[in-house]
Structure 1
């Protein structure tokens, strides 16, 4: 895993949380696991740390990280049956043509250049995976690709079966324009519902300006309330008390872990038909797929038709870490 955020993360860090979940599940199944990640990372197996936990670190530091991984894998690859890389593809360069099995996993849109180059070089036992069919389609220009969805530990989330009619809606995610929080506010106001907004305020100039100009003026603490970034316990509480998660994305989100976090609490999701949304939401079972703010507003009135127990059960059977870990092991065994 790339340095920058420790594994597991305290707040933001979807991929880092995934890596920790899989490391723990593989250890529980009896496998020997070594985690290679940034400082302060931990798991029940062995841990080797490198680099700096700083998302704004310099390119020089990133080059040093690559050299560290090259040196480490060149010395140790024979110790492993599988090298599962959630970090940069370039990390695998020294072992591309070694017999050790390798899974390269993507959770974001994929650069064609790196994929074509890796497959043009001599290589053995290299499988590419991505977290949705939508994400696979961005990189499937060469090599062997499979879809393996993202996961959460459903046992860490408690279902809230009974929902009051005046329960709030919730938006949870980075407060970037492409995440569509402005649309969530519009849908809440259209239907006279309270909206809880949770997530990190972006520090990029364009998204910070977007938050200050378009979002912050609408936060009144009454109908629209900002509750800040949430840790895992707070996510459980806030998602569980909401009648629905609004997911009005304006880009092709590769997966959107927050959707299954909501479903684990029994909370349905109303999401725009972009990226992985049609793969994650089962229409009328654990949410609704819509095209715009008007359709989102209409579906809010149908939330009472969704059985929150069934909402959780369907998602659990598809996205629990025990299910997804077995899918990765099947990729390895195949």
Structure 2
């Protein structure tokens, strides 16, 4: 199968530091190549891949201080995709929505994975205007705010089995917080949980420009005061294995409709249980009392810290191996690709807009 993967340009594929979408694109791309597919990756020029690489910027845009507006680079990438569209059996987009008008003549041979939150008010009219584009959700909960659209399936994220090694005995007695310093991720909750539980908390996180103000005003004072909190900054993949593997648990105290939460399965791959608040995708990812605890408030979270000894870290890793490997992700997507290709061949061009807002004339069973 000839497959195009179209990645965001903010980070390279895979990212050097933070970058969940680009990391997933990398795992999927490499597994598809391993399975024998002919894959072309449209991504930043510093990306590293065994697929054919179409370099769409010199380097990851976030790491290039000369870049002020990423939009022109994505538009140029999409023009290159348009020129080559006939070369592929399927085109898989990971850039949310910028390409929608472009694919009007070949929408039926495309699929778009939505990696972000879908509850923002400006999104509903957009997706209402484009009801026929095949879409993939990364959790079933992610779909809840959406108007009727053409869902091709739900595919949970996954990692390569060896990217984060299992750690049977954590070396240090600390709790971990990994991700972004942003209000919805609630690092303030993590700090309070650790303080009340009498444990050290290590925070490894990036701060986006949009979150710099809240990070400085709200989080920095919390981090600087307690003796039990250590901020280690943004970390790479090698550092992540040590950071998560040596933690007693990962705290995931979110306060927003998390579409997936890649860090949860990264912790599970290390054998580290997760204490997560019941929001968004959490009940779909965490097997309560098996790979972690699902909690509803700070009291329950503190109580959960006291019960961490009940977890068998090999069982936590087993939950990852059973549900969240890159091989499973690739198999799920290949099934969707084949269904789309079959339908596209039967009905020809899939129109971008449906009369009276009706869904596309085909339905594809979900994968999970």
- Give the TM-score normalised by the residue count of structure 2: 0.82
> Which residue number corresponds to residue 114 of structure 1?
126
> How far apart, in 2, do the equivalents of 1:283 and 1:308 lie?
14
Aligned-partner SS, 1:96: helix
CA distance in 2, matches of 1:300, 1:4: 36
Q: Which residue of 1 aligns with 2:355?
A: none
Q: CA deviation at 1:144?
A: 2.7
Residue number in structure 2 paired with 1:201: 207
Is contact 1:136-1:146 (8 Å) kept? no
Alpha-carbon offset, residue 179 of structure 1: 1.1
1:150-173 CA deviation, whole Å, 9 max, x = no partner? 111121222122347x72111111
Q: State the Cα distance separating 1:202 from its structure 2 match.
A: 4.2
Contact 2:137/2:151 (8 A) holds in 1: no
Residue of structure 1 equivalent to 2:315: 310
| 1:98 correspondence with 2:103 | no
How many Å apart are 1:139 and its aligned residue? 3.0
CA contact (8 A) 1:245 1:262 kept: yes
Matches within 5 A, 1:22-41: 22-41=28-47
Q: Distance in 1 between matches of 2:275 and 2:305?
A: 8
> Quick one: distance in 2 between partners of 1:39 and 1:163?
38
Q: Return the offset for 1:286.
A: 0.4
Conserved in 1, the CA contact under 8 Å of 2:96 and 2:115? Answer: no
Give the match for residue 216 of structure 1.
224
The CA distance in 1 between the partners of 2:108 and 2:241, in whole Å, is 39
Q: 1:130 aligns with which of 113, 124, 137?
A: 137
Change (3 A) 1:97 1:210: same
Q: Indicate the SS of the match to 2:168.
A: coil
* 8 Å CA contact retained: 1:176, 1:210: no
Counterparts of residues 169-184 of structure 1 (less than 5 Å): 169-184=175-190
Q: 1:99 to 1:301 in 2, by over 3 A?
A: closer
C-alpha contact 1:107 1:135 (8 A) present in aligned 2: no
Q: CA deviation at 1:148?
A: 0.7
Query: Would you say 1:286 and 2:291 are equivalent positions?
Result: yes
* Structure 2 residue aligned with 1:69: 77
The verdict on how the C-alpha distance between 1:63 and 1:287 changes in structure 2, with shifts beyond 3 A counting, is same
Matches of 2:152 and 2:142 in 1, distance apart? 11
Per-residue CA distance 1:198-238 (angstroms, 9 max, x = gap): 112344323332222333333x3xx2222221111111011
| Larger RCO, structures 1/2 (Cα 8 Å, 6+ apart) | 2
Checking the alignment, whether the CA contact within 8 Å between 1:112 and 1:141 is kept in structure 2 is no
Unaligned runs of 5+ in 1: none
1:321 to 322, 326, 333: 326
1:3 maps to what in 2?
9
Task: Summarize the Cα distance change of 1:252–1:132 in structure 2 as closer, same or farther, 3 Å threshold.
Answer: same
CA separation of 1:100 and 1:4: change in aligned 2, threshold 3 A: same
Change (3 A) 1:244 1:27: same
C-alpha deviation, 1:141, in angstroms: 2.6
- C-alpha spacing 1:224/1:144, structure 2 compared with 1 (3 Å): closer
Return the alpha-carbon distance in structure 1 between the equivalents of residues 8 and 260 of structure 2: 19
Check 1:266–1:142 CA distance in 2 against 1; reply closer, same or farther (3 A cut): same
Q: How big is the alpha-carbon RMSD for the aligned residues of Structure 1 and Structure 2?
A: 2.0
Shift in CA distance, 37/224, structure 1 to aligned 2, threshold 3 Å = same
Determine which of 240, 258, 279 is the counterpart of 1:235. 240
Which residue does the alignment assign to 1:149? 156
Gaps (5+ residues) in structure 2? Answer: 1-6, 340-368
Corresponding position of 1:333: 338
Deviation larger for 79-88 or 152-161: 152-161
Matched, 1:87 2:95: yes
Aligned position for 2:349: none
Deviation of 1:74 (Å): 2.9
CA contact (8 A) 1:73 1:95 kept: no
